[in-house]
Structure 1
Amino acid sequence: MKKMNIKEIILNKEAGKRAFLLGNEAIVRGALEGNISFFAAYPGTPSSEILDTFSAIAKDAGVYVEVSSNEKIAYEAALGASWSGLRSMTSMKHVGLNVAADAFMSTAMNGVKGGFVIVVADDPSMWSSQNEQDTRLFAKLANLPVVEPSSPDEARLFAKELFELSEKFDTAVVLRSTTRLSHMRGEVVFGPLPERTQAGKRASGDFSKNPEKFVNLPLNARILRLESLKRIEKIREEFNHKFNYIEGDKSSKVGVIASGLAYAYVKEALSWLDINDVKILKLGTPFPVPFGLLNEFFNGLERAIIVEELEPVVEEQVKTWAFDKNIKAEIRGKDLVPRYYELSTDRVVTSLAKFFGIKSPVDIERAEFIEKNIEAKIPRRPLVFCPACPHRNVFYVIKKVTGYNGIYPSDIGCYTLGYYPPMKLVDTSTHMGSSIGLAHGISKALEGSASKKPIIATIGDSTFFHAGLPALANAIYNRSNFILFVLDNRTTAMTGHQPHPGTGYSISNNGKEIKIEDIAKAMGADYVEVVDPYDMKATEQALRKALSVNGVSFIVARRECALLYASRVRRSGQKFKRYVIDEEKCTGCKTCILTFGCPAISWNSDKKKAFIQEDLCYGCGSCVSVCPFNAIHEGE
């Protein structure tokens, strides 16, 4: 039986077809069913598969798909398409919304023309993120409605219906996902695809001038602000019979309100606890909470608990409403349900057991104790750069030249792994583009001080285009003094190898490559050099020259991501170059292991010698120049 690829699955024309999809893939299918025409995004885990899936089906589905330079630009592009009458969508992770916040907050009250859906994937427990924040708070602040599905099939349905809701109420709409929902698989039942989508025909927009709606001068903004407040109350009424419902024992005096994926945990937890006589309000719209359904839900209730992940967004709305309505029922929430990290069935079982005053079948503290002890017995697998990763070579050269006698701001990307041994050359890493801004601030702070430590910052190629350009301009303009390595591996590697302006590749048209070094030269950097990090001698020479320059030195370390290279070699049927360690020359100094840290080099404890694992080695040959005894050479 032929295995179908994701394009064939997502573009299946058969309504009622069932497929086993990721939550992110289901969002794409729902958007197609909703007649989307325009999609723009910057990749960020856990949202990246939305962009990847759109990229796979773009040409066949008649959807313009763009990998934008950052989330703000993606948001603006999709909004521009909406204002031109096309149904549009953008996606990002939660910290990406921070980047888009200026546009998000400023245009929230302008409204739309074609339906506009903003997908934001939060990351409770910070599995792949630098912080833990709740997009529902952002949406509430912007006064935009937010919905959150509880399953992949709901993700499809919500994505489809939100375009219609957006146009009906003239508003952008936020679809909130989480890591667990984005990356879980579940059965999805397909709805019909529009004829245009089936034909793969691109739609064309038409922009009609409407400055009173689209120009946020104070005289317009004041009117738009009032209209947005009225709009959200109309949407609240709509949500009384859309995306939300009451189930369970409707005569019960005890109730549970569950929002998004927490609903699935609640259902399973109640089953574990063998509790059936409870009324449940299943919320798909954490903002605005439908007050009409609350009236119905609290009728006859004596007690209720609100189960939601992270912040008490629903809880605060419900308690405010209950106070205004003089509701006497006891309402519990974050006093029993944790406010930090993602929820699980175990955590919800524990919370509900406390609420119902019964013994929990799950001893969370005991389970966590056992888990920690099990982890302690498992051999440590430290995070490391991939075999043949060019970033490793750059960090090795920096360490060789400066030791640890420097200040090393870094950024968000694969190269943040330079934080771990054996490199340990990441002193700061907080958000996209921060390496350059922090390096500049530290440089200015140390002016006139006795410190002679060099400041050597690192940033990736995609991150440079995302948020590094303004920071570099500012540093050069203000005559800063530091070295910046742009680690150009020709892709956005950390999120799944998406393109960026430096690659010259674009999803829906022929992109134009922008040379990173040309940007630095045009901005007036004091020293600009391009090196191949596999040539560690040339990389070292460039760094030593940069150290003698007073000003902003800019070194592009350009070498394709090792995973892309390895994949291409395997597809071609070729073999990697083979490198071996001469046991007679190897002294067992472990420089190749403890200083360079390539995972393809291992230690033979019996022979007290290092050796190269052929199945892990991609044949870059970098280790040859690392060995102080010339014990590594190309094999047969």
Structure 2
Amino acid sequence: MAYDQLVTSKKGDKLFLLGNEAAVRGAIEAGVSVAATYPGTPSSEIGNILSVVAKNAEMYFEFSANEKVAMEVAATAAASGIRSFTFMKHVGLNVAADSFMTTAYSGLKGGMIVLVADDPSLFSSQNEQDTRNYSRLSSIPILEPSSPQEIKDMMVYGFDLSETFGIPVILRTSTRVSHMRGIVECGEISKPKSTTKEITSDKHWLKGYFVKNPREFVPVPANALEMHERLVAKIEKIEEIANESPMNEVYSFESGVLQGKYGVISSGGAFNYAYDVISQENLGMDILKLALSYPTPKDLIYDFCKNLEGVFIVEEVDPVLERDVLAVLGEYNLDCPVYGKFDGTFPMIHEFNLDIVKESFNKVISDLKDDREFKEDYKSENAEDFEGNLIEILEKMEFTDGLNELLENIPTRAPTLCAGCSHRSAYFAAVKAYQELGYLSEDMIFASDIGCYTLGISPPYETADYLLSMGSSVGDGCGFSVATDQHVMSFIGDSTFFHSGLSPLVNAVHNKNKFVLTILDNRITAMTGGQPNPGIPVDGMGDEAPAIPIEDIVEAIGVKFLKIVNPHNIKKTVDIYKEALEYDGVAVVIARYPCTLIKGQKKKAPMVIKDNCVKCLECVKTLACPAISYLNDKVIIDEALCKSCAVCIQVCPNKAIGVKKGD
């Protein structure tokens, strides 16, 4: 779809939107003035879209240096009376947590939404932490949509709730909800406004006015005591709202074998699976869907459970709702068995699907109901047509010409660096350098970081031995430097360096650590879709901005060994790495070459295999470039994939690779 439709569509118009697109429409309808983020999947599309539409939506938008900065930009905007929006992936909230926790105390004047996209099953993350724990820890309300329509609607609802109580509101999505598509009916677009004082300026977004009040905004201990008291009172009032909120709804079924006996409490994306299984299997269990799940709507939960023989808690990842429900039942002394994660009914980890939810229901249902009459009622109308394994089912459906062979021979495809990626060249040179110095592989430690370059974990490079979080490679280098006498090489991307690499580099210089830090500067935030970072001369809205040279920062920190190299020049890069590995201190190498995915780069002639190729396979084995393959007893370069980096020419010991001559 054309993104301008998110700005121009009128009330009642219907759009077919991704969950992340719906979040943008929700921000526009709510009258957001300021938005800030650091890109992270599964929320990346929100920033990509806002960078295009922000000006037409009368909104300021930026890709901040990291999530903590984005949180602070949003918090100060809301403290100035205008509505603000910050969004990030779940682990990004860890980075922002210090400031995030205090926003609950200090309060706001304008509304503020913190959208956090969780990643059950770790599709693109290093853990699957559950953001709902943060809502309880911080005493910040949380909304959990299960569809694009709900994302849009809850953005608007959440801003109103936030502004009413002067507190941020979390909107928790997930990979599945962020990336599902659905029909979204648009609402009225509210013009941005300020709750304090509107300031006329020459900017395209509305500015507010910060009214000084240190007792409200400066949490020194004496003030923070009062702030906490106010926060507790706010949460108590919001709990009353949660008990009556239209966001929390009971879905009833007209009939079913368990109707009136058992119920389900669910939230977020897990609700969709519960609803579908109950519908398809004619179970008839009512579902209490908690979209405003914290503060816990205790009265609502009690009323739902009080006449039930048992209740299922369907939620992904941590048993957060289950703990809340158990606490409510205990407080009311209500004897209602709870079937969830603690008793093993549902898996404790990972994303759910229809089969998982159905099998989990069956664990309890088969124990509760063994009589033949129930089993006949419980069977789906055409269940006999779909018994057996996948092959047998598909054979009955006449889908099976050659299916056995197809399913048995589907190849796996491991993730790999793109053809022509400069990270590959840097890794190749690093390995060659330590080998030429006579270092043993087991005496090398490679500290990696979050980005495309984490793929260095795979053969033939194997340059990722340890990883914790964004920016950790530099701090890890500090630690390994003092804890071992092994040779340490750390790798970090340019965007990640700006995000969280500066402080640990200061630490390394100050404490006289010894390791090699490579800053892989490919002029973009590549892994999340090509967003700008402070190292390039453009901002999040596409306007010209001052670029911050990485080398200037490194020199200012006090690094004495600093080299800048095009990593595609293998000999020069190897020589620099050898020098860096023998340097007694912190050695920084900036490996600078643009990402091959940046648009507008001139297409050069591809590489070709010459007739004198002896099939030694050195290029295939040591580069693992997806453009080079060995097929039918021949080494082949795919001209469509080749990016003309010429690294393979430098690697071939027989000079059997060259540049394709013009036709």
> What is the match of residue 475 of structure 1?
508
> What is the match of residue 2 of structure 2?
5
Identity %: 42
The question of 1:592 aligning with 2:616 is answered no
State whether residues 347 and 364 of structure 1, in contact with CA within 8 Å, keep that contact through their aligned partners in structure 2.
no
User: Which of 285, 291, 294 in structure 1 is aligned with 2:301?
Assistant: 294
State whether residues 31 and 191 of structure 2, in contact with CA within 8 Å, keep that contact through their aligned partners in structure 1.
no
CA 1:208–1:374: 2 relative to 1, 3 Å: farther
State whether residues 587 and 609 of structure 1, in contact with CA within 8 Å, keep that contact through their aligned partners in structure 2.
no
State whether residues 539 and 545 of structure 2, in contact with CA within 8 Å, keep that contact through their aligned partners in structure 1.
yes
Gaps of 5+ in 1: none
> What is the match of residue 73 of structure 2?
77
Equivalent runs, 1:329-348 vs 2, <5 Å: 329-334=336-341, 335=343, 336-348=345-357
> What is the match of residue 335 of structure 2?
328
CA distance in 2, matches of 1:599, 1:254: 54
Deviation at 1:537, TM superposition (A): 2.1
User: Which of 299, 305, 312 in structure 1 is aligned with 2:312?
Assistant: 305
Secondary structure at the residue paired with 1:43?
coil
> What is the match of residue 399 of structure 2?
none
Which residue identity is paired with 1:266?
A
Moved more, 373-382 or 55-64: 373-382
Once the two structures are superposed, residues 523-552 of structure 1 have per-residue CA deviations (whole angstroms, 9 ceiling, x without a partner) of 111200111112222212221221231100
Secondary structure at the residue paired with 2:556?
helix
The question of 1:559 aligning with 2:593 is answered yes
CA distance in 2, matches of 1:592, 1:151: 48
Deviation at 1:604, TM superposition (A): 2.9
CA distance in 2, matches of 1:196, 1:233: 29
CA distance in 1, matches of 2:74, 2:505: 27
Which residue identity is paired with 2:295?
P
> What is the match of residue 631 of structure 1?
656
> What is the match of residue 500 of structure 1?
533
Could you state the TM-score of these two structures normalised by the residue count of structure 2?
0.89
Equivalent runs, 1:169-180 vs 2, <5 Å: 169-180=165-176
The question of 1:236 aligning with 2:232 is answered no
> What is the match of residue 39 of structure 2?
43
User: Which of 269, 274, 291 in structure 2 is aligned with 1:261?
Assistant: 269
> What is the match of residue 416 of structure 2?
384
Secondary structure at the residue paired with 2:207?
coil
Equivalent runs, 1:532-551 vs 2, <5 Å: 532-551=566-585
Which residue identity is paired with 1:180?
R
CA 1:432–1:196: 2 relative to 1, 3 Å: closer
Equivalent runs, 1:21-40 vs 2, <5 Å: 21-40=17-36
Secondary structure at the residue paired with 1:112?
coil
The question of 1:395 aligning with 2:422 is answered no
> What is the match of residue 350 of structure 1?
359
CA distance in 1, matches of 2:137, 2:581: 47
Secondary structure at the residue paired with 2:106?
coil
CA distance in 1, matches of 2:462, 2:604: 29
State whether residues 144 and 293 of structure 2, in contact with CA within 8 Å, keep that contact through their aligned partners in structure 1.
yes
Secondary structure at the residue paired with 1:66?
strand
What is the Cα-based RMSD across aligned positions, in Å?
2.4
Secondary structure at the residue paired with 2:481?
helix
Secondary structure at the residue paired with 1:60?
coil
CA distance in 1, matches of 2:76, 2:187: 28
The question of 1:603 aligning with 2:613 is answered no
Once the two structures are superposed, residues 480-508 of structure 1 have per-residue CA deviations (whole angstroms, 9 ceiling, x without a partner) of 00111100000110001111111121124
CA 1:212–1:595: 2 relative to 1, 3 Å: same
State whether residues 408 and 456 of structure 1, in contact with CA within 8 Å, keep that contact through their aligned partners in structure 2.
yes
CA distance in 2, matches of 1:426, 1:249: 52
State whether residues 273 and 353 of structure 1, in contact with CA within 8 Å, keep that contact through their aligned partners in structure 2.
no
State whether residues 26 and 152 of structure 2, in contact with CA within 8 Å, keep that contact through their aligned partners in structure 1.
yes
CA 1:29–1:186: 2 relative to 1, 3 Å: same
The question of 1:133 aligning with 2:129 is answered yes
CA 1:314–1:365: 2 relative to 1, 3 Å: farther
CA distance in 2, matches of 1:20, 1:241: 30
User: Which of 543, 547, 554 in structure 2 is aligned with 1:520?
Assistant: 554
Once the two structures are superposed, residues 207-240 of structure 1 have per-residue CA deviations (whole angstroms, 9 ceiling, x without a partner) of 1101001111111111111111111111111112
> What is the match of residue 200 of structure 2?
none
User: Which of 628, 640, 643 in structure 2 is aligned with 1:615?
Assistant: 640
Secondary structure at the residue paired with 1:466?
helix
Equivalent runs, 1:484-495 vs 2, <5 Å: 484-495=517-528
Could you state the TM-score of these two structures normalised by the residue count of structure 1?
0.93
Which residue identity is paired with 1:419?
I
Secondary structure at the residue paired with 1:563?
coil
Once the two structures are superposed, residues 23-67 of structure 1 have per-residue CA deviations (whole angstroms, 9 ceiling, x without a partner) of 111011011101101001000111111111111101111100010
Moved more, 529-538 or 94-103: 529-538
CA distance in 1, matches of 2:387, 2:539: 48
State whether residues 37 and 87 of structure 1, in contact with CA within 8 Å, keep that contact through their aligned partners in structure 2.
yes
CA distance in 2, matches of 1:429, 1:317: 34
CA 1:375–1:287: 2 relative to 1, 3 Å: farther
Deviation at 1:392, TM superposition (A): 0.4
State whether residues 264 and 287 of structure 2, in contact with CA within 8 Å, keep that contact through their aligned partners in structure 1.
yes
State whether residues 215 and 223 of structure 2, in contact with CA within 8 Å, keep that contact through their aligned partners in structure 1.
yes
> What is the match of residue 529 of structure 1?
563
Secondary structure at the residue paired with 1:121?
strand
The question of 1:432 aligning with 2:429 is answered no
CA distance in 1, matches of 2:388, 2:427: 41
Deviation at 1:100, TM superposition (A): 0.8
CA distance in 1, matches of 2:456, 2:187: 47
> What is the match of residue 446 of structure 2?
408
CA distance in 2, matches of 1:473, 1:365: 62
User: Which of 244, 247, 250 in structure 2 is aligned with 1:246?
Assistant: 250
Once the two structures are superposed, residues 231-267 of structure 1 have per-residue CA deviations (whole angstroms, 9 ceiling, x without a partner) of 1111111112221011215981321111111111111
> What is the match of residue 396 of structure 2?
none
CA distance in 1, matches of 2:148, 2:76: 29
CA distance in 2, matches of 1:295, 1:582: 77
State whether residues 287 and 314 of structure 1, in contact with CA within 8 Å, keep that contact through their aligned partners in structure 2.
no
Once the two structures are superposed, residues 325-368 of structure 1 have per-residue CA deviations (whole angstroms, 9 ceiling, x without a partner) of 11122222112121100111111111122233367889999779
Once the two structures are superposed, residues 355-413 of structure 1 have per-residue CA deviations (whole angstroms, 9 ceiling, x without a partner) of 33367889999779x99x99874323232110000000000001111133521111110
Once the two structures are superposed, residues 432-461 of structure 1 have per-residue CA deviations (whole angstroms, 9 ceiling, x without a partner) of 111111111111112xxxx5x421111000
State whether residues 59 and 205 of structure 2, in contact with CA within 8 Å, keep that contact through their aligned partners in structure 1.
yes
The question of 1:422 aligning with 2:460 is answered yes
> What is the match of residue 123 of structure 1?
119
CA distance in 1, matches of 2:136, 2:653: 60
Aligned residues: 616
CA distance in 2, matches of 1:82, 1:349: 44
Gaps of 5+ in 2: 194-202, 370-374, 394-402, 436-440
CA 1:332–1:365: 2 relative to 1, 3 Å: farther
Question: Which runs of at least 4 in structure 1 moved beyond 4 Å after TM superposition?
Answer: 358-368, 373-377
Deviation at 1:150, TM superposition (A): 0.9
The question of 1:157 aligning with 2:153 is answered yes
Once the two structures are superposed, residues 573-602 of structure 1 have per-residue CA deviations (whole angstroms, 9 ceiling, x without a partner) of x6431211102x211111111101111011
User: Which of 589, 604, 618 in structure 2 is aligned with 1:576?
Assistant: 604
Deviation at 1:304, TM superposition (A): 1.2
Secondary structure at the residue paired with 2:445?
coil
Deviation at 1:557, TM superposition (A): 0.6
Which residue identity is paired with 2:249?
Y
